[in-house]
Chains A and B, each alone.
Chain A
Amino acid sequence: MREERSAALAAAVLSCLVVVTAAVAPALTSARPANQIPVEEVSGDANPQRPTAEVWTAVPSVDVPLTSAPSGLPNANDTSVETLDVQAARDQRRLYVRVSWKDGTADRNVTGPREFADAVAVQLPVNTSARPPIAMGSTRTPVNVWYWSADGGTEELLAGGPGSTTAFGNATVRTTTTYDDGRWTVVLSRERRVPGPNRTSIGGEDVDVAFAAWNGSNMERSGRKSVSEWYHFPLGPGPQGPPYETILWTVAGLAIVGVALVTITAVRRT
């Protein structure tokens, strides 16, 4: 009799746990996995290329912390951009990355030898299934870099290690910018699939992404820059995609409940 009671108690506790888990787990997973930048589906008509477009208010934003890039250059540790606000969206054809950061001076014009322009860059692996070394990739695992600089240039670059950046002849990256209230906001976008062997194809797989920013008035340029760790855009069918998460948790929850019910029934019968 006593055994029976304790078994029933255990079953009750277990079923409570199951209920709690089933209720809480989906909420837990909707808190974003580390270093993920969600990509919202938007309509091209919403004009996501405009930094101030209404559509961006509905896109979640990720705070990406930056640190000085390790580099042998003089004063490499003296960098000033600490955080980027990053948002990402896609429509039928393009991926849009909206990057925003604080910078008290808009350094647009380089007319003298000591002047440098503000800049920002988005780095993607050429081959999305291998994660390249964060510092500009390597010869085996090259990276694509979308580079915007405030003196009017947008470049699409290929790099296979530090100091090896080379511009593509035909840049397919588009940038639009605002500087307002001490903040730069830049939207960089590219068609998700662009022909050519050395360009990241953005589509059915998760894509790693890293960021860099330069403050021109602090004489930042080249490897003297603020950089992020690797992040990723969850574009693939992997387990972290929100619909799969929910399905999996539901399945797991149901299984647990099933087991519990079976156990309870079994205990009652004994």
Chain B
Amino acid sequence: MSGGTSEVDLAEGVSHQVAMVMDLNKCVGCQTCTVACKTLWTEGGGREYMYWNNVETKPGEGYPRNWGESGGGWKSAEHGERSPGEIPAQGDYGRAWEFDHEAIMYDGSDEPLRPQGDPTWGPNWDEDRGAGEHPNSYYFYLPRICNHCTHPSCVEACPRKAIYKREEDGIVLIDQERCRGYRYCVEGCPYKKVYYNARTKTSEKCVFCYPRIEGSGPDGETFAPACAEECPPQLRLVGFLDDERGPIYKLVEEYEVALPLHPEYRTEPNVYYIPPFAPPQHSDAGETVDVDRIPREYLEELFGERVHRALDTIQRERERVNLGESSELMDLLTDTNPARKYRLEVFDDA
């Protein structure tokens, strides 16, 4: 708790930065967000294999497989030199699965409904496998979208400046007219959140549902991105990082409990995670022992060393609530009021 004196780091020329906080303690891995995004943006037309939002099980190799080892991002915090990455192979995304609905549902075939061909990988392929030994095995879900980074290496990688970070809210978009499908952005993004569409010969990515947040729907109302609005346990907060009265600012800048994924890539993501907080381990006799169920070193791999302080802060505040004291942090994390969770109109007259 630094008392609200932090300087918010916005990209040069960007007036406000949209941001999202996801509380991993609430994710049940239902994939509603994945489907909401898929049906809204990536059905058909060469987009079958793409998931702008995907939810993967951790520990696990993710989608695309081993994306964390594919390179990209920046060599140092000065953002002077990129580390060039690799384009994942189709097999590491997996192919879209085909099902013979016709034969099974209508033509009376006895075959079970299962993917045609023999899939070898796909989104959330390692679902619920996790790690650890019974009774202390563990896993958690990690929903991922493009982070709309403050220093996006995808933007820097594009020789045509077809990807840009737009001024009004820092959303990172690909100009489909300028893109010539060179895929340097796909290489350059360390989170592998740009996808190549072989049909249109352009690259495509999460647009943070910008038409929804701009209110270009029928009644001019603004909506948070579909992945956030559709999530049954409502674990996502959406707003602006520089909205000092919003929960995102407080969680990221004041309490420092919402952390970017893989800060060592140095793109400075604007999607933040409340790290998972699992109950401690049990002995074989079923007694609680004072050992973290999810190893701290593993969480540190994902969220950097600041994860220790974040977890300590959350634990301390939980204990306060258990003792009957009030905790602003716990109030923020348990708030269910959509007007406070999605603050998208605060800068409208700016």
Contact = CB atoms under 8 A, between A and B. Distances in A.
Contacts of B87: 113-114, 219
Contact of B93 (A72, A113, A115): A113
Interface string B191-208: 000011010010000000
Contact of A73 (B159, B180, B196): B159
A221 B88 CA distance: 17
Nearest to A113: B196
A222 B183 CA distance: 10
Chain B interface extent, by class = 20 to 34
Residue from A75, A115, A162, A165 whose CB has the most chain B CB atoms within 10 Å: A115
Given A74-B184, A221-B182, A222-B180, A110 B159 contact: no
B166 interface: no
B23 interface: no
Contacts of A162: 159
A114 B93 CA distance: 12
Contact of A113 (B160, B180, B183): B183
B245 interface: no
Interface string A75-115: 10000000000000000000000000000000000111111
B187 interface: yes
Given A163-B159, A163-B161, A114 B182 contact: no
Contacts of A219: 87
A96 B279 CA distance: 75
A165 B177 CA distance: 11
A223 B89 contact: no
Nearest to A149: B201
A244 to B, nearest CB: 43
Nearest to B178: A166
A110 B89 contact: no
A11 to B, nearest CB: 67
A73 B82 CA distance: 11
B329 interface: no
Interface in B84-100: 84, 87-90, 93
A113 B201 contact: no
Given A163-B159, A163-B160, A114 B180 contact: no
B90 A223 contact: no
Contacts of A74: 84, 184, 187
A73 B185 CA distance: 11
B186 interface: yes
A222 B186 CA distance: 14
Nearest to B186: A113
A222 B184 contact: yes
Contact of B90 (A113, A164, A222): A113
Contacts of B90: 111-114
Contacts of A223: 159
A168 to B, nearest CB: 14
Contacts of A165: 160, 180
Interface in A140-183: 151, 162-165
A112 B181 CA distance: 12
Given A112-B89, A113-B195, A114-B89, A222 B187 contact: no
Contacts of A114: 87-90
B201 A222 contact: no
Contact of A110 (B186, B195, B201): B201
Interface of B: 84, 87-90, 93, 159-161, 180-184, 186-187, 195-196, 198, 201
22 contacts: A71-B159, A73-B159, A74-B184, A110-B198, A111-B90, A112-B89, A112-B90, A113-B88, A113-B89, A113-B90, A113-B186, A114-B88, A114-B90, A151-B201, A163-B159, A163-B160, A163-B161, A165-B160, A221-B182, A221-B183, A222-B159, A222-B182
Given A112-B89, A113-B89, A113-B198, 9 more contacts: A72-B159, A110-B181, A110-B201, A111-B90, A113-B186, A151-B201, A163-B161, A222-B182, A222-B184
